[in-house]
């Protein structure tokens, strides 16, 4: 998930265009690593409807990973999923995520999307690992995936080489993006 220095993933109006200026050719390697480890892409309806047309019309290794891997769409209103392969989960979020984790599919459940889905997953304790990319901008207000927690969530920086921390861009010109992996620490 890409976030501003002050912890927001979207502006107050829900937009996030400010993040794209920080990603270039050098961000592809760590994106491809995460996509390669994914067995399924999980997302909410809004992300599915935004990402589907974009990735379906795109080419390259990231587009291939997005288009060919199965999608799990969490929505109570979506009736048909045309960007596939896709499965719609219309019931309880915790039950759906548990079902995905229990399947014998190879790879991780990689969640894409905005702060509302991330908040729900975090509140329910369903996130095992966070991939957070911080871009060097403070936007002052917006939506955070960690808002409205009922208790503190303790995260530890990932030491597993498969979830390396990384930095892309050039700090000298303000384009550096810090990518960190964090695992949830179980109490």
Q: What is the mean pLDDT of residues 157-178?
A: 50
Q: Is the pTM of this model over 0.75?
A: yes
pLDDT tens string 89-101: 998 999 999 999 8
Q: Which of 12-21, 66-75, 169-178 has the highest mean pLDDT?
A: 66-75
Pairwise pLDDT comparison (124 vs 185), residue with the higher score: 124
CA quadruple 2, 53, 41, 118: dihedral, nearest 10: 40
Determine the average pLDDT of the residues in 145-171: 62
> Which of residues 160 and 75 earns the better pLDDT score?
75
CA contacts within 13 A on the Cβ side of 114: 19
**Region 103-111 average pLDDT:** 82
Q: Which one is predicted more confidently, 136 or 49?
A: 49
Mean of the per-residue pLDDT values of the chain: 80
Domains and CATH numbers, the chain: 2-8+27-184 (3.40.430.10)
- β-bridge mates for residue 71, sequence order: 41, 86
Could you read off the pLDDT of 117-138 as tens digits, one per residue?
888 998 888 888 887 788 888 8
Q: Where are the alpha helices (DSSP H) in the chain?
A: 28-37, 45-56, 61-68, 93-102, 115-123
């Amino acid at each position: 998930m890409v976030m501003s220095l002050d912890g927001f993933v979207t502006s107050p109006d829900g937009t996030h265009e400010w993040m794209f200026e920080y990603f270039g050719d050098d961000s592809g390697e760590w994106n491809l690593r995460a996509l390669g480890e994914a067995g399924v892409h999980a997302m909410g309806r809004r992300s599915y409807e935004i990402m589907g047309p974009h990735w379906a019309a795109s080419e390259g290794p990231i587009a291939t990973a997005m288009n060919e891997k199965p999608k799990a769409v969490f929505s109570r209103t979506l009736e048909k999923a045309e960007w596939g392969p896709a499965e719609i989960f219309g019931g309880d979020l915790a039950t759906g995520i548990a079902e995905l984790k229990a399947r014998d599919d190879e790879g991780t459940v990689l969640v894409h999307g905005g702060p509302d889905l991330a908040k729900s997953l975090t509140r329910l304790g369903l996130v095992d690992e966070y991939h957070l990319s911080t871009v060097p901008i403070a936007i002052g207000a917006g939506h955070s995936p960690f808002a409205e927690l009922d208790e503190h969530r303790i995260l530890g920086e990932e030491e597993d080489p498969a979830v390396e921390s990384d930095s892309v861009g050039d700090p000298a010109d303000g384009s550096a993006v810090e990518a960190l992996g964090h695992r949830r620490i179980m109490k």
